[in-house]
């Protein structure tokens, strides 16, 4: 399907999923964290009927998830320009029957999505605390996507917990240096961490991302720390990451 591209926009493709997505270096482009998060999400066949992608940006995670489930996906994004980009990407991929976009603050998500009704929430949130002396990107779109300017970790986790059914799951990608904050916030909102995976650029290097799965009202403890994901072998992506990106280890 043909869609209109605005100034500075391009169409990229995640070949492993057959998904095309509208991107802009001036507004927003997905990065590897979105691909890793979508891969980390476990969908439970026909039992998964409702998925919410919080802080959805230009819709990368929700679009990538559409390939692995028939569930309805709702994206929630506060920035109008990014939400509109996501909507055009949905049209581009002819996924309008499966995915819709809510352009609003996630604090208002319950106006659009029933509480205690969602099977999976996925979230690639802003990572950086909004300290007064924090150095922020002068580009407002990128600043909001990266720093907690319009929301914060506690609000995000609280929103997810409110939307999820009992025993439903939250999947997040986050920064390891804020892992303690994330785990504390999850427990405070009845979400028990059950699966954790660190992402490292190369063997022997510090982790630069962490993937976490939590279950609503789950039994305490029982956290499994899975083998790390290494993203590079030298200067080239490892085969596992190539499979996520291109559908091939070549």
109-123, pLDDT tens digit by residue? 999 999 999 999 999
β-bridge partners, 216: 191
Contacts of 87 (CB under 8 A, 6+ apart): 59, 101
pLDDT, tens only, 162-216: 999 999 999 999 999 999 999 999 999 999 999 999 999 999 999 999 999 999 9
- Buried b / exposed e over 69-99, threshold 16 CB at 10 Å, is bebbbbbbbbbebbbbbbbbbbbbbebeebb
For residue 28, the model assigns a pLDDT of 78
Q: Are 8 and 25 in contact (CB under 8 A)?
A: yes
Of 60, 69, 62, nearest to 24 by C-alpha is 60
pLDDT confidence of 128, banded at 50, 70, 90? low
Q: For the structural domain made of 9-246, what CATH number should be given?
A: 3.40.50.150
């Amino acid at each position: 399907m043909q869609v209109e591209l605005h100034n500075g926009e391009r169409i990229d493709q995640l070949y492993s999923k057959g998904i095309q997505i509208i991107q802009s270096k001036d507004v927003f482009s997905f990065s590897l964290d979105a691909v890793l998060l979508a891969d980390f999400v476990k969908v439970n066949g026909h039992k998964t009927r409702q998925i919410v992608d919080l802080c959805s940006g230009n819709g990368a995670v929700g679009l990538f998830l559409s390939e692995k489930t028939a569930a309805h996906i709702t994206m929630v994004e506060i920035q109008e320009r990014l939400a509109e980009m996501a909507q055009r990407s949905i049209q581009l991929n002819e996924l309008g029957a499966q995915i819709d976009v809510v352009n609003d603050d996630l604090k208002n998500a319950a106006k659009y999505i029933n509480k205690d009704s969602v099977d999976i929430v996925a979230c690639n949130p802003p990572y950086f605390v909004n300290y007064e002396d924090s150095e922020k990107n002068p580009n407002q779109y990128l600043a909001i996507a990266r720093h907690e300017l319009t929301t914060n970790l506690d609000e995000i986790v609280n929103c997810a917990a409110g939307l999820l059914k009992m025993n439903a799951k939250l999947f997040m990608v986050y920064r390891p240096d804020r892992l303690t904050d994330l785990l504390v916030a999850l427990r405070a909102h009845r979400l028990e961490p059950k699966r954790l995976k660190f992402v490292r650029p190369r063997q022997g290097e510090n982790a630069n991302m962490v993937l976490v799965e939590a279950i609503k009202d789950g039994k305490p403890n029982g956290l499994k720390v899975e083998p790390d994901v290494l993203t590079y072998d030298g200067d080239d992506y490892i085969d596992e990451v190539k499979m996520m990106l291109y559908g091939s280890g070549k």
